[in-house]
């Protein structure tokens, strides 16, 4: 399956900009987000017995799970 990292990072950046986060807040939130994202991806891969590939590396034919991962991230925050 594939996952669009750029879409998810873009969403985080937009949210941080909307809230006028300070540099310290951006650093703390980004670090926590990376950890949470990594764990969500690991859990998804284990639960569904799949390998997750960055969508920019996929030419065609893979199921995109970006929206499902974003939903899980929203629930885990």
Residue 68: CA count within 13 A, CB half-sphere: 13
Mean pLDDT of 11-37: 91
Name the burial class of residue 65, with classes exposed (0-12), middle (13-18) and buried (19+) by CB atoms within 10 angstroms of its CB: buried
**pLDDT at 77 exceeding the cut of 70:** no
What average pLDDT does the segment 9-14 reach?
90
Mean pLDDT of 38-62: 92
pLDDT of 61 > 90? The answer is no
User: How confident is the model at residue 6, as a pLDDT?
Assistant: 93
Longest dimension (CA), the chain: 41
Confidence of residue 76 (pLDDT cuts 50, 70, 90): low
CA gap 50, 36 in Å, rounded: 19
């Amino acid at each position: 399956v594939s996952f669009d990292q750029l879409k998810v990072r873009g969403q985080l950046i937009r949210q941080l900009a909307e809230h006028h986060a300070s540099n310290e807040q951006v650093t703390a939130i980004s670090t926590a987000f990376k950890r949470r994202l990594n764990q969500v991806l690991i859990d998804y891969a284990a639960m569904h017995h799949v390998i997750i590939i960055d969508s920019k590396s996929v030419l065609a034919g893979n199921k995109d799970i970006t929206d499902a991962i974003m939903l899980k991230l929203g629930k885990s925050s």
